[in-house]
Structure 1
Amino acid sequence: MAGADTSGTSASARRRVLAPLALAQFICSFAGSNMNVMINDISTDLGTTVHGVQVAITIFLLVMAALMIPGGKLTDRYGRKRCFLVGLAVYGVGALLSAAAPGLGTLIVGNSILEGIGTALLIPPVYILTTLLFTETTARVRAFGAIMAMGGVGAAAGPLIGGLITWSLGWRAAFVFQALIIAVILMLSRHIEDPLPPDPTRRFDTGGAVLSASGLVFVVMGILAADDNGWLMLGLLLLGALVLAWFLAWVRARERAGEEPLLSTNLFHSRTSNLGLVTQNIQWLLLMGVSFTVAAYLQVVRGYNAIETGVIFTAATVGLLASSLAAEPLAKRRQQRTLIMVGFAVTIAGIGVLLGMVSGSPHAWAFAPGLLLIGLGLGVMLTPSVNVVQSSFGEERQGEISGLSRSVSNLGSSLGTAVAGTILVAGLTTGAYAAAMITLAVVGLGGLLAAALLPHRPAPGGARTGHHGPG
């Protein structure tokens, strides 16, 4: 492989490469959660509703999920660093357009569409480059730990940072902040070298990309329509299922014809990877679902402003950061399966505490214990889930599996916001808040079951780049 083995590179050189990759994951995760504390400010300023802002947030997450698989595939044809830089540029334009948005439509174009497209282009290279550049097991675990920690902190700290900026400068400044971070990442990215040359001869499966994206869009749109029209919801969900079935038939037909599909069915032949993808999806569904539910409840029902809402989320940020920083030493002593199971158990317990204490107390501090537990639980399992999936395949499949992995995670984020938001906007009351949290806890039990089914010591994916750490 042309990539450098990090066992022979200096620690400072590794940090120079890792810094822009981790910062990119941070800002994309931040973008998915920081708008939660701006619900009232944006809806008032742009003359829209809570549901309108929820739609904008969900479309952003959905665009990421729908285009992440094509984005990962494009890295093989055009190169990982080039896709990373183009994605950053598109994202930056979207952030600036959002900052100047005169109405909800422009905000959706800038934030939901352009930032979503930019993220879908830049995130797969983050994970592919990390896998290819950090070839030594310990270094790769540490690198993934740093990236996932920054991603988790970005999502958990988004409400606090967004709240501070909104309170002091206004919600538009939060998008200017994103554009400035993008500029910093572009400057830091000059140290990145693509370990594999691009292959312009690789054909891109346009038909597969359209079908996969359309199917995911219809499914999430169906969930969003649940509070308006039950028949429309069922129709969209059925249409989404049919389009995704068409996509699967399309992929199989291309494989039988000897052509390269958008997503190889061989990626789903690994039981370990499949279960890891399920845990990834549910982790981000819980993180974004809890974030939206609590933020909407605090602002709409209890009347808290952006900064007050953001401060309350500090407990989740502290918990997630603490457990993410402990990911590497924990991985040396415990199996990845065990860490993921413990993470789900602690997160579900946190939802229970959050539900019980908030319903029985009018004080803001009642949110802290539950949010702290949720942060601790999510931080424990984010990195092991990524390691399980990424390391199940060799370097020749990293473009595909990285795109699939990030798509599944972002689909979880969009589903979390859509499901929780749909329940809440149906009637923002204490009862709706409880219903949303109970729904998230039940989904979390599904994640715990998937983690329990993971092999005790999953076999590596057959390539020397596979992770051979504690199973």
Structure 2
Amino acid sequence: MPKALQGATAVVETAERKQTAGSGRVLAALALAQFICSFAGSNMNVMINDISKDLDTTVQGVQVAITLFLLVMAALMIPGGKLTERYGRKRCFLLGLVVYAVGALLCAAAPGLGVLILGNSLLEGVGTALLIPPVYILATLTYPDVTSRARAFGVIMALGGLGAAAGPLIGGLITSGISWRAAFVFQALVIGVIVLLSLRMTDPLPPDPTSSFDTFGAVLAAVGLVLVVLGILAADDNIWLMIGLMVLGALVLGWFFHHVRAKETAGQEPLLPRSLFRNRTSNLGLVTQNVQWLMLMGTSFTVAAYLQVVRGYDAIETGVIFTAATLGLLFTSLAAERMARRCSQRLLITTGFAVAIAGIVVLIVLAGAFTTAWAFVPGLVLIGLGLGMMLTPSVNVVQSSFPEEQQGEISGLSRSVSNLGSSFGTAIAGTILVSGLTKGAYAAAMSCLAVIGVVGLVAATRLPRDTGTAEADVPRATAPL
């Protein structure tokens, strides 16, 4: 080979290695960001007793903090995605990381429940809403071809699922070994690592300062969602207050959709175009996403509270028991790509719901019949297997229902719906637990989750039969929480 050609080849190979290394750092940063946000949504479940005793509050108070964190994420995820167009994806990503880290450190030093809610529910929630949309936009733009993009989102989804499912175990180890406050310091340290990995990250697209932002629409959507979830939380205190808040929330959301229609009629850009809600397949997929995360977070909260409050287990023992669900979720998540080649998305989702619902039934029966911790394992394993089987195809169904130019909008809506499901799961389960039931409260909470799971199963059965395999229906942007 001529020396000139050899030299040119060497230059190209060196450039490719640098690009691969750079994209590897980007992927590591994005995957770790999804991990820590998913971790934050579930790790507090094993700290309920420790936090309530240390801060002189109640289980309900800690539940409110957890639910509000998930709610803030859901309410602000769509506006957060819109802001990336105006201010740039990397800038919003880094800003979200900084806001999140400040919130985590504030939680670590919290003298009372109010400061904990400020740090965890507000600052960490706002930070997550700012940094999560850029994760999927940057991954999509950094990996332009279908193969590399699918692999990248596989890594992000795996770490996201690991953060959500293993949050109780990791949080339990830190809480028992050091303190619940150290778990928030751990989050801040991980954020520091992500920032270091992101310093050399480049934004594939320049920001557009002229991009419009529907501020009034964002406020209406956020207020409506907050009122609905607060209504659920108020159920144990005052039934009329619950009805009032939920009706008011529904009215505000109705106002939001009227505002969207008015903006589109006037030729202006709303927060969300109505066309996103006209696709039947996508709507059914959004329902399954919402119910899946409702079941996951509701189960995590209910089982963790039961083990600590009723069985008297500490944080690490609770985390170890919940590892059964983590292992089940990881097993089917890792096999999701292989299963998607052989089975339709619809079959995977319906089977996943059936397995998860069966797991809840097994959990209720065995936990009620036996006092050993092993009684929780079969049910939790089934729940994890079912949820891991259907998380990816549900997102694939939604994403692949829209063309490339609408991927950013549908991704924001998809993430918001998933996080709203997490909020509902914790709120509904927690409300039942503190509703005054003297016997069977935990079984009632899990039974409620199973009934809602049936709603998701019915929605899955109504998906089109030709919802194909992953090879024929590759998503452009997928992710968990």
Aligned mates of 1:98, 1:193 — CA distance in 2: 31
1:403 corresponds to: 412
1:21 deviates by: 1.2
2-structure distance, mates of 1:131, 1:456: 28
Range that drifts further, 13-22 or 238-247: 13-22
Which whole-Å CA distance do the structure 1 matches of 2:316 and 2:127 have between them? Answer: 28
Partner of 1:176: 185
Q: Does residue 441 of the first structure (1) align with residue 440 of the second (2)?
A: no
Q: Deviations over 1:177-224 (max 9, x none)?
A: 000011111111235332222211011111001000000000000000
The correspondence for 2:212, drawn from 203, 217, 220, is: 203
Deviations along 1:291-335, whole A, 9 cap, x unmatched? 000011111111111111111011111111111111111222222
Q: Is 2:61 aligned against 1:52?
A: yes
> Among residues 261, 271, 281, which one is paired with 1:272 in the alignment?
281
- Asked if 1 retains the 8 angstrom alpha-carbon contact of 2:407 and 2:476, the reply is no
Mean Cα displacement is larger for which, 427-436 or 364-373?
427-436
- 1:395 CA displacement: 3.5
Larger CA deviation: 8-17 vs 377-386: 8-17
Could you tell me whether the CA contact under 8 Å between 1:145 and 1:324 is conserved in 2?
no
Flag the 1:430–1:20 CA change in 2: closer, same or farther, 3 A.
Answer: farther
Alignment check: 8 A CA contact 1:144 1:383 kept: no
Alignment of 1:314 with 2:323, yes or no, is yes
Distance 1:373 1:459, change over 3 A: closer
Q: 1:399 Cα shift?
A: 2.6
CA distance 1:139–1:392, shift in 2 (3 Å): farther
> Aligned equivalents of 2:247 and 2:305: distance in 1?
29
Q: Within 5 Å, which residues of 2 pair with 1:20-39?
A: 20-39=29-48
Q: Is the 8 A contact 1:297 1:428 kept in 2?
A: no
Match of 1:351 in 2: 360
Shift of 1:271: 1.6
1:22-78: CA deviation from partner (whole Å, max 9, x where unpaired):
111111111011000000100000010000000000110110011111011111111
C-alpha spacing 1:8/1:254, structure 2 compared with 1 (3 Å): farther
Q: Which moved more, 1:404-413 or 1:384-393?
A: 384-393
Bigger radius of gyration, 1 or 2? 2
Aligned residue number for residue 221 of structure 1: 230
* Letter matched to residue 359 of structure 1: G
Q: CA separation of 1:320/1:191 partners in 2, compared to 1, >3 Å: closer, same or farther? A: farther
Gaps of 5+ in 1: 1-6
- Alpha-carbon distance between aligned partners in 2 of 1:261 and 1:159, rounded to the nearest angstrom: 39
Change (3 A) 1:38 1:71: same
Aligned pair in 2 of structure 1 residues 323, 13: CA closer, same or farther (>3 Å)?
farther
Which deviates more, 316-325 or 286-295?
316-325
Equivalent-residue separation in structure 1 for 2:422 and 2:90 (angstroms):
26
Q: 1:144 touches 1:387 (CA, 8 Å); kept in 2? A: no
1:166 pairs with one of 154, 158, 175: 175
- State the shift of 1:458 in Å: 4.1
Please state if 1:146 is matched with 2:155: yes
1:63 aligns with 2:72: yes
Given the superposition, is the C-alpha separation of residues 191 and 424 from structure 1 closer, same or farther in structure 2, using an over 3 Å criterion?
same
Separation in 2 of the partners of 1:320 and 1:465?
22
Q: Separation in 1 of the partners of 2:321 and 2:76?
A: 33
Distance, in Å, in 1 between the alignment partners of 2:202 and 2:435 is 50
Alignment partners' CA distance in 2, 1:433 and 1:332: 39
SS at match of 1:426: coil
- Matched with 1:374 is 383
1:289-308 → structure 2 map (5 Å cutoff): 289-308=298-317
For residues 475 and 367 of structure 2, the distance between their equivalents in structure 1, rounded to whole angstroms, comes to 44
- Deviates further, 429-438 or 65-74: 429-438
Any conservation in 1 of the 2:158–2:333 contact (CA below 8 Å)?
yes
Shift of 1:466: 5.5
Change (3 A) 1:328 1:10: farther
Look up the SS of the partner of 1:65 in the other structure.
helix
| Maintained 8 Å contact 1:29/1:152 | yes
Decide whether the 8 Å contact of 1:344 with 1:447 is kept in 2: yes
Most deviating of 282-291 and 73-82: 73-82
Under a length normalisation based on structure 2, what TM-score does the superposition of the two structures give? 0.92
The code of the aligned residue for 1:300 comes to V
- Match of 2:38, as an amino acid? S
Higher mean Cα deviation, 81-90 or 211-220? 81-90
Identify unmatched segments of 5+ residues in structure 2: 1-15
Spell out the pairing of 1:425-436 with structure 2 (5 A cutoff).
425-427=434-436, 430-436=439-445
Q: State the alpha-carbon separation in 1 of the partners of residues 17 and 385 from structure 2.
A: 34
2:165 partner letter? A
**2:128 aligns with one of 119, 127, 130:** 119
Report the number of matched residues: 460
* 122-131 or 226-235, which deviates more: 122-131
Q: Which amino acid aligns with 1:22?
A: A
CA distance in 1, matches of 2:40, 2:216: 29
Q: Which moved more, 1:288-297 or 1:139-148?
A: 139-148
Structure 1 67/410 Cα, relative in aligned 2: closer, same or farther at 3 Å? same
| 1:15 Cα offset (Å) | 3.1
SS in 2 for 1:194: coil
3-state SS of the aligned residue for 1:313? helix
Matched, 1:414 2:411: no
* Partner of residue 8, structure 2: none
Specify the alignment match of 1:3 in structure 2.
none
352-361 or 216-225: bigger deviation: 352-361
SS of corresponding position for 2:204 = coil
Aligned to 2:101: 92
State how far apart, in whole Å, the 1-side matches of 2:457 and 2:62 are.
31
Identity rate, percent: 73
Tell me which amino acid in the other structure corresponds to 1:228: D
Shift of 1:100: 0.4
Secondary structure (helix, strand or coil) at the match of 1:210 reads helix
Per the TM alignment, residue 384 of structure 1 is displaced from its structure 2 partner at its CA by 1.4
Distance 2:57 2:212 in 1: 43
What per-residue deviation string (whole Å, max 9, x for no partner) do you get for residues 128-175 of structure 1?
222333333333333222222211211111110000000011000000
- Residue range with higher mean Cα deviation, 282-291 or 262-271: 262-271
What amino acid is aligned across from residue 67 of structure 1 in structure 2? Answer: L
Matching residue's letter, 1:455: P
Distance, in Å, in 2 between the alignment partners of 1:75 and 1:183 is 21
